[in-house]
Amino acid sequence: MILLTVLFLCIISTYSASVKGHTTGPSLNNDQLYKFAYSTEVYVDRVKAPLQKSAGYRLSSGVDVNLLWRNPENDDDQLVKVTIRDVQVENVNERPAAKNIFEGKNTEKIIGKEYLQALQRPIVLELARGKVKNFYSYENEPAFTQNIKRGLASLFQLQLHSGAAHEVDISGKCNTTYHARQDQVTKIKDLGSCEIEKQGFTSHNRILDVNTKATSATIYVLEDSFFKSIKAEENYALVLNSRRKTGAKIVSKQRLELKSVEAGPGLIAGKQVAGVIKTLDSSYVAMSLVAEPVKSECRKCPSLSEQWKSIREQMYPEKLSKAEAAKSFLSFIQNIRKATKEEILQVIRSEKKELLPQVVDAVTSAQTPESLEAILEFLDFKDESTSLLQERFLYACGFASHPSETLLKSLTAKFKEDIANEEIRETLVTVMGALIRKLCDREGCKLPAVAEAKRLILNRLEKAKKDDNVRMYLLALKNALLPEAIPLLLKYAESEEGPISNLAVTALQRYDPSFLTKEVKETMNRIYHQNHRIHEKTVRTTAAAIILNSNPSYMEVKNILLSIGELPLEMNKYMLSMIQDILRFEMPSSKTIRQVLKDMRAHNYDRFSKTGSSSAYSGYITRGPDVSSTYSLDILYSGSGILRRSNMNIRIFDRNAELHAIQVVIEAQGLESIIAATPDEGEENLDSYAGMSAILFDVQLRPVTFFQGYGDLMSKMFSATGDLMNVVKGLILLTDYSQEIQLQSGPRASAEFLGGLAIDISGGMEFSLWYRESKTTIKNRVAVFIAGNTEVDSFFVKTGIETTFEVETALDFISTVQFSQYPFLVCMQMDRVDSPFRSYVTKYESLPSGRRYTARRGKAEPLPGNEYPLHQENSNMCRKVIGAKSDSSSNWF
């Protein structure tokens, strides 16, 4: 055994001796000059478009490489001189002279004499075991030429055996994988792992965001221990998650090919690298191989004031549901992000009241430190006359795509100060809840400002005595969705009455089912089955919905089904409709419900034949390969035919994410006295009230009250004009994606996608005692404009692609109830009008001189309107209601 061990050690030492003294990376021969042809190409186009029609350019040159020095003690340590020469710039694809921006211009005119000289100054690389240990260049060279040299130098980095490595090159510190086979090596770089200073931001919700895929591969072919050819290709594909046809790709190619080997200069004598570099040229400085940032300056760009003057006509309130308003809104945001605080304040202070709300929307949505400072300096929360502007500012904060800790800290400070308008105070704390959730979603829950805001809301809710204050903090928690707030919400859901209990339960309904513990489900069961006390129908039905949407047990479902028939008349019908909707739409709990329905005690004619007008129905608005959208309409009536709750939801989802786009809830209570009807059980002492609550893009807004109290009701009934009350009107930044991309060939690319929404949501209720009819109307007017610009800026040439699409549409929901008989007639109508849809793709190349090539394609098509059918029972009732209206109008005289 000892003999075998000694023999093994001898073999290992012999092998080690044979490796020592030989390089483990590429090696140059002494006194030789290697002449290469080098080219780098950039293509920009639509994701699936062929490269032959792409915009872009090619930079080609000769490259001379020779060995300067080899470490006498280690052959793996080499100094290599690399010189770029004979630079040429041309189109990446052949193009007629009239469309060629480089036509008639030599390289010196295109790049510039000084930049060309800098580009052709040699660099020196220290190669150690195949890795670029040091990159030597001249200190005061332009960053753009240094990065092109870094891109070339990064190609010289190679590992000759298969395996993984962490390497530093122009892209940063990246994970790379090598696959070696004979004289060929393939290097795969994981661009997503690269550690480099990144600038930019993404949208909060994945559906509104941009998906990016990046790949990098380099193939080395070796001959006589050095490079025969190198081919590298890097691909970036960016697509809008909500519409994958809207996107762009960047392809960057590098090619280094050996043309000849000639006699070259001899080696420089020396033992240390520093001495050799000093002998060669004392002006050389060791630099990082990682790319340095390059700032491009905008030439002939209008000032912020000039740009605002050019778009202000599109920003009047009556034009806010047009796509042009959303487009102007986005372009204004882009300029605000480049502006100083003083420039922003100049625009705000010079504008008249009619347009100021739109300016506030844009300034707040810009989300820069300068814009935040400007708007906070302008707004005075102690001045009640500017409440509209304060509200627009706060809602724009709530919809912020990438809120900062500073923003939340500023709002928390404002909340602690005096605020003239109590509704603004309520809106402020509600928006703070939305910001808490967005920051927590980005792993910012432990930030000091977030911790302080959470503590403030939770502590003040526990100490609140007035119902108005309790409601205010519950609204904040409905947005924040804090796990630690669940016990408080359960307390208010079960122990309080009326709006407070309802608000607490609807807040719990917004939580992901994974947070709904056994304690939550037990409380919801007690509320629904009224084990401890009597609850309103609105609270009980919401509790049932929470149970059925959070992986209910067999017994939970069975108990709910057995309760149908023992409930108030309209609640029976509503619960039955909810169960049928779950089954029809194949929701997660449908499997358990089907198991329970096999039991005849739960599933029988007596239980499933209950009459009434309440309903719950879900359906698809669109079903597509990218995203789908659904709508749901729930209507619950009192036993006397008065509306108790109307709930319309629109959700957008893909395979991995969901967005609660819109919820509009109209609630009414205590209206039975108008028609001398008897209130339902548990609702005898409710004050007369009607109001509307909305959720927009996952943000709960402050509810709007139509009337409060019998006196207010009578006053508004006799003075009613039939006009709808506005809930939301303004401009919202939906998609907000901006990223800087460092290409491994040297240039820097940028990708920016912005999506704007111009929206107008209004609603109202009408009563006719004469005709014993009530009507609920919700009108949604929206216009969307989304623009993506993907550009490669090489300082001497810009090339890119702009993609845009726009749509204007309207979605109306009308519910008409005739309560002159029982069961009363209910007609629900949900219509979408014809909508124009336009999309454009523009590819371009431009020189600083102003010479530009542009190729533009567009497509316009109408999206046909649609009257959503809902369920057959509703269609039958609508025929009766509309028919009855026609008869009454024809027999009016």
Choose among 681, 769, 783, 760: nearest CA to 720.
769
**Same domain membership, residue 311 and residue 230:** no
For 337-352, the pLDDT digits (tens) are: 999 999 999 999 999 8
- Compare 674 and 667 and report the one with higher pLDDT: 667
Mean pLDDT of 700-715: 71
DSSP state of 458: H
Q: Which domain holds residue 360?
A: 301-378
CA 515 – CA 525 distance, rounded (Å): 16
Examine the pLDDT at 884 and tell me if it is beyond 50.
yes
Mean pLDDT of 799-820: 86
Structure tokens at 309: 């003057």
In this structure, what CATH number is given to the domain that contains residue 95? Answer: 2.30.230.10
Mean pLDDT of 663-689: 71
Mean pLDDT of 112-135: 93
pLDDT score, position 6: 35
**Same domain membership, residue 310 and residue 268:** no
CA 498 – CA 488 distance, rounded (Å): 17
Structure tokens at 448: 């000091």
Structure-derived torsion over alpha carbons of residues 647, 652, 657, 658, reported in degrees to the nearest 10: -10
pLDDT score, position 710: 55
Examine the pLDDT at 889 and tell me if it is beyond 60.
no
**Same domain membership, residue 272 and residue 306:** no
Domain assignment of residue 251, yes or no = yes
SS in 3 state form for 313-354? HHHCHHHCCCHHHHHHHHHHHHHHCCCCHHHHHHHHHHCCCC
Neighbours of 656 (CB within 10 A): 8
Domain assignment of residue 501, yes or no = no
Q: Model confidence at 781, in pLDDT bands (50, 70, 90)?
A: confident
Domain assignment of residue 173, yes or no = yes
- Compare 772 and 259 and report the one with higher pLDDT: 259
For 710-754, the pLDDT digits (tens) are: 565 555 554 555 567 666 778 999 999 999 999 999 999 999 999
For 357-390, the pLDDT digits (tens) are: 999 999 999 999 999 999 999 999 999 999 999 9
**Same domain membership, residue 324 and residue 224:** no
pLDDT score, position 707: 65
* Host H or E run for residue 650: strand 643-653
**Same domain membership, residue 106 and residue 249:** yes
**Same domain membership, residue 108 and residue 78:** yes
Q: Model confidence at 697, in pLDDT bands (50, 70, 90)?
A: very high
Instruction: Please tell me the least confidently modeled range out of 474-488, 703-717, 757-771, 861-875.
Output: 703-717
**Same domain membership, residue 232 and residue 96:** yes
Examine the pLDDT at 327 and tell me if it is beyond 90.
yes
Beta-strand runs (E) in 743-871: 748-768, 773-793, 798-818, 825-832, 835-846, 852-863, 866-867
Domain assignment of residue 448, yes or no = no
Q: What is the mean pLDDT of the chain?
A: 87
pLDDT score, position 11: 34
CA 457 – CA 239 distance, rounded (Å): 39
**Same domain membership, residue 266 and residue 342:** no
pLDDT score, position 295: 77
Examine the pLDDT at 12 and tell me if it is beyond 50.
no
Examine the pLDDT at 651 and tell me if it is beyond 60.
yes
CA 231 – CA 219 distance, rounded (Å): 5
- Phi and psi at 216, nearest 5°, equal -145, 130
pLDDT score, position 75: 82
Structure tokens at 719: 């003075």
Domain assignment of residue 458, yes or no = no
**Same domain membership, residue 136 and residue 107:** yes
pLDDT score, position 19: 30
| Last-in-domain residue among 287, 316, 339 | 287
Number of domains in the chain: 2
Examine the pLDDT at 474 and tell me if it is beyond 70.
yes
Q: Model confidence at 766, in pLDDT bands (50, 70, 90)?
A: confident
pLDDT score, position 829: 83
For 290-314, the pLDDT digits (tens) are: 999 887 777 678 899 999 999 999 9
| Last-in-domain residue among 254, 287, 320 | 287
Domain assignment of residue 731, yes or no = no
Examine the pLDDT at 20 and tell me if it is beyond 50.
no
| Last-in-domain residue among 326, 354, 378 | 378
CB 757 within 8 A of CB 211: no
- Phi and psi at 448, nearest 5°, equal -55, -45
Domain assignment of residue 713, yes or no = no
pLDDT score, position 709: 63
**Same domain membership, residue 104 and residue 51:** yes
Burial 370-397 (b: 16+ CB within 10 A, else e): bbbbbbbebbebeeeebbebbbbbbbbb
pLDDT score, position 244: 87
**Same domain membership, residue 317 and residue 219:** no
Burial 744-770 (b: 16+ CB within 10 A, else e): bbbbbbbbbbbbbbbbbbbbbbebeee
pLDDT score, position 635: 87
pLDDT score, position 5: 39
The pTM is what? 0.87
Examine the pLDDT at 323 and tell me if it is beyond 70.
yes
pLDDT score, position 249: 96
**Same domain membership, residue 218 and residue 164:** yes
Domain assignment of residue 120, yes or no = yes
For 501-541, the pLDDT digits (tens) are: 999 999 999 999 999 899 999 999 999 999 988 888 999 99
Maximal CA-CA distance, the chain: 122
